[in-house]
Amino acid sequence: MSTLVIVESPTKARTIRNFLPSEYRVEASMGHVRDLPQSASDIPAELKSSEWAKLGVNVDADFEPLYIVPDDKKKIVRELKSALKGVKELILATDEDREGESISWHLLQILQPKVPIKRMVFHEITSEAIKGALKNCRQIDDRLVHAQETRRILDRLVGYTLSPLLWKKIAWGLSAGRVQSVAVRLIVNRERERRAFKSGSYWDLKANLYAPKQEFPVQLVSVGGTNVATGKDFDEATGKIAKGRKVLLLDEAAAIALKERLNGKVWSVSNLEERPTTRKPSPPFTTSTMQQEANRKLRLSARDSMRVAQALYEQGYITYMRTDSVHLSQQAIAAARQCVTKMYGNNFLSKEPRQYVTKSKGAQEAHEAIRPAGETFRTPQETGLSGRELALYDLIWKRTVASQMADAQLTMLSVQLTVEDAIFRASGKRIDFAGFFRAYVEGSDDPDAALEEKEITLPPLKMGDHPVCRELNTVGHETQPPARYTEAALVKMLESEGIGRPSTYASIIGTICDRGYVQLVNNALIPSFTAFAVTSLLEEHFPNLVDPSFTSKMEQTLDDISTGSVEWLPYLKKFYSGEQGLSGQVKSRDSLIDGEAARTVHLEGLDDDVKVKIGKFGAYIQVGEGDRTVNSSIPQNLTPSDLVPDKIEMLLKQKLEGPDQVGIHPETNEPIFMMVGQYGPYVQLGQATDAVPKPKRASLPKGMQPEQVTLDVAVKLLALPRTLGAHPDTGNRVFVNTGRFGPYVCHVKGNGDKDDNRSLKSTDDPYTITFERALELLAQPKVLRGAAAAKVLKSLGKHPDDDEAIEILDGKYGAYVKHGKINVSLTKEQSVDTLTLEEALSMLATKSKSSKSTSKRTKAASSETKKTTTKKTATKSTAKAATTKTATKTTKKTTTKKTAATK
Q: In this structure, which amino acid lies at residue 366? A: A
Alpha-carbon torsion, ordered 494, 500, 506, 512, to 10 deg: -80
Other residues' Cβ atoms within 10 Å of the Cβ of residue 439:
23
Q: Long-range contact list for 639-647, CB < 8 A, 24+ apart?
A: 639/191, 639/526, 639/527, 640/191, 640/195, 640/527, 640/528, 640/529, 640/532, 640/601, 640/603, 641/191, 641/194, 641/195, 641/481, 643/603, 643/606, 643/612, 644/605, 645/606, 645/607
DSSP 331-381: HHHHHHHHHHHHHT-GGGB-SS-------STT--TTS--B-B-SSSPPPHH
Please list the residues that pair with 809 across neighbouring strands.
Answer: 792, 816
Q: DSSP code of 566?
A: S
Give bridge partners of residue 600 from the DSSP assignment.
613
CA angle 649, 651, 652 (to 5 degrees): 65
Distance CA(89)–CA(547), nearest Å, equals 48
Cα 676 from Cα 654, distance rounded (Å): 8
| Closest among 275, 377, 230 to 317, alpha carbons compared | 377
For 117, 199, 524, the CA distances from 480, given in Å and listed in that order, are: 61, 7, 16
Could you give phi then psi for residue 578, rounded to 5 degrees? -70, -175
Burial 577-600 (b: 16+ CB within 10 A, else e): eeeebbeebbeeeeeebeeeebbb
Cα distance between residue 519 and residue 602, in whole Å? 20
**Burial annotation 699-733 (CB, 10 A radius, 16+ → b, else e):** bbeeeeebeebeeebbbebbebbeebeebeeeeeb
Residue 778: closest CA among 740, 736, 841, 808: 736
* CA pair distance 25, 84, nearest whole angstrom: 10
Catalytic residue among 24, 313, 320, 505: 320
Over its C-alpha atoms, the chain yields an Rg (Å, rounded) of 33
Per-residue DSSP letter, 664: E
Of 514, 518, 509, 515, nearest to 490 by C-alpha is: 509
Per-residue b or e along 555-566, where b marks 16 or more CB atoms closer than 10 Å to that residue's CB = bebbbbbbebeb
Long-range contacts (CB closer than 8 Å, 24 or more residues apart) made by 522-526: 523/295, 523/299, 523/486, 523/487, 524/483, 524/484, 524/485, 524/486, 525/187, 525/484, 525/485, 525/486, 525/487, 525/490, 526/187, 526/191, 526/484, 526/639
User: Strand pairing partners for 222?
Assistant: 227, 423
Give kind and range of the element (H or E) at residue 553. helix 548-563
500 C-beta neighbours (distance < 10 Å), count: 23
| Backbone dihedral angles phi then psi of residue 822, each to the nearest 5 degrees | -100, 125
Q: Say which amino acid occupies 804.
A: E
Active site residue 320: yes
Q: Are 221 and 423 in contact (CB under 8 A)?
A: yes
287, 321 in Cβ contact below 8 A? Answer: yes
Name the burial class of residue 30, with classes exposed (0-12), middle (13-18) and buried (19+) by CB atoms within 10 angstroms of its CB: middle
**Rounded Cα distance, 605 and 400, in Å:** 49
Q: Which residues pair with 99 in a beta bridge?
A: none
CA atoms within a 13 Å half-sphere pointing along the CA-CB vector of 703:
2
Catalytic residue annotation: 320
